[in-house]
Structure 1
Amino acid sequence: MDYRLFVAIDLPDAVRDELSVLCRHLERVRWTPQDQFHLTLRFIGRGDGALVRDLCEQLSSLEPDPFSLILAGTGYFPPRGMPNILWAGVQPSDQLKKLYRRVDEALFYCGVKREGRKFAPHITLGRLTGEPHDAVGEWLAGTASFRSSSFDVRSFHLYTSRLTSRGALHTKLASF
C-alpha cells in the first residue's frame, strides 16, 4: 500500500476551538475542518508499508520530554507574492525545535531526505481560492494578535493523508 505520510502534534480541543474563531470573514477560502488542525513536525511524502514500519521503530525510540506550547499570530504562505495558505503561528520554543531535529534525524535514518527549507511551525487554517489581496490584509490585521491558551505536548503522531476534492483527510497510524 502507498501512503502519503507526515509527523505531527495534535492540538487539544480547547485550542482547536480557539483556532476555529479565526476561520471566518473571508469568503473564498477552503477552511481546514476543526478536527483536522495539527502542527506538522515533518512532511515525509510517499512511502510503503515497509517505510511505515521503519518509521514507527525509529520514532518510538525518541521518547521526548513533555513541554508546553502557545500558538501566536497569523500569516500566509508564500511569504512573498500572492497568498495561498493562511496559518496560525507558534510562539518560539526550544523544546519544539529539539523535537523537530530528533524527528528529522530519525526520518533520515530511515532513508527520508532531509527537509530543504527552514522549520516554520504553523497550523494551516485554510487555502485561498482567489480572495483579493486587500481582504487577506484586513483578515491578517484582525487576527495578528491571536494567542492561544498554553497546552502540553506529551506525544506526537505518524499520519497518513488522503487528498480529496474537499481537502486532505488525515488518519493517525501510530502515536509516540
Structure 2
Amino acid sequence: MYRLFAAIDLPPDIAAQVQALCLGLNGARWVQGEQMHLTLRFIGEVDGGIFRDIKEGLATIKAPPFSLQVKGLGFFPPRKPPRVLWAGVTPVEQVSGLRNRIENVLVGMGLEPEGRKYSPHITLARLRDTPLAGLNRFLAGNGLFATPEFAVSEFHLYASELTAKGAFHTRVASYPLR
C-alpha cells in the first residue's frame, strides 16, 4: 500500500525563511524544512495498481506556471483547541485551480472526492497542549511574515510513511506545469 499526496515544494531559500519561524512555542512539534510543502490533495492509501493509474493520470494535467508567496500565519481548527500551526500562501486562485484539476483527475478514476474545503497552507507545527496565550503571542510577533514571490513550475506526487518520529515523504513523480 502507498500513502499518497500531491504537493508543491518550497524552494530551498523560501523553506529556510519559513523554517526560521519554527521556534519558541511550547507544545509545538515543528515540521523540518525538508518536509515542508504545500499540499494540493491528500490521496490516502492505495494499492500498486491504483498507484500506477494515479501517476499516469496526474501526468495529463495541464495548468500554467504561476508565482506564489508565503504570507501570514494561523492555526486549525479555529474554534477548538489548536492542533496545527500554518503559514498561508497568496494568491490562492492559481493553487486552487491546480488543486481542482488534480481533484477532477482523481475523482474521474473512481477515488472518493476530498470531503473538506480546500484551504492552501504550509504546516509549520503540530500542536499539543499549546497554551492559547502563547500561540497568540507567537502569531502577533510573526503576523507580518511574508517571503518573496517564487515561481511554481511543477508539482509532485509523494509517498508518505508514518513513523514514531513523524511522517517522512518521498517524491515518487514530478509533473511540469505547462
TM-score tier (shorter): over 0.9
Query: In the alignment, is residue 41 of structure 1 matched against residue 40 of structure 2?
Result: yes
Q: 1:17 aligns to what?
A: 16
Q: 1:119 aligns to what?
A: 118
Q: CA deviation at 1:11?
A: 0.7
Whether the 8 Å CA contact 2:63–2:98 is kept in 1: the answer is yes
What is the rounded CA distance, in whole Å, between the counterparts of 1:160 and 1:6 in structure 2? Answer: 7
- Name the amino acid aligned to 1:121: P
SS at match of 2:52: helix
Q: 1:133 aligns to what?
A: 132
Q: CA deviation at 1:62?
A: 0.8
Could you say what the CA RMSD is over the residues aligned between the two structures, in angstroms?
Answer: 1.0
Whether the 8 Å CA contact 2:92–2:120 is kept in 1: the answer is no
- Structure 1 stretches of 4+ with a deviation exceeding 2 A read none
Unaligned runs of 5+ in 1: none
What is the rounded CA distance, in whole Å, between the counterparts of 2:157 and 2:51 in structure 1? Answer: 9
Q: How many residues get paired?
A: 175
Q: CA deviation at 1:27?
A: 2.9
SS at match of 1:156: strand
What is the rounded CA distance, in whole Å, between the counterparts of 2:79 and 2:167 in structure 1? Answer: 25
Determine what percentage of the aligned residue pairs are the same residue: 47
TM-score (norm 1): 0.96
Between 1:20-29 and 1:39-48, the stretch displaced more is: 20-29
- Name the amino acid aligned to 2:116: R
- After superposition, where does 1:1-176 map in structure 2 within 5 Å? 2-176=1-175
TM-score (norm 2): 0.95
SS at match of 1:70: strand
What is the rounded CA distance, in whole Å, between the counterparts of 2:22 and 2:83 in structure 1? Answer: 14
Unaligned runs of 5+ in 2: none
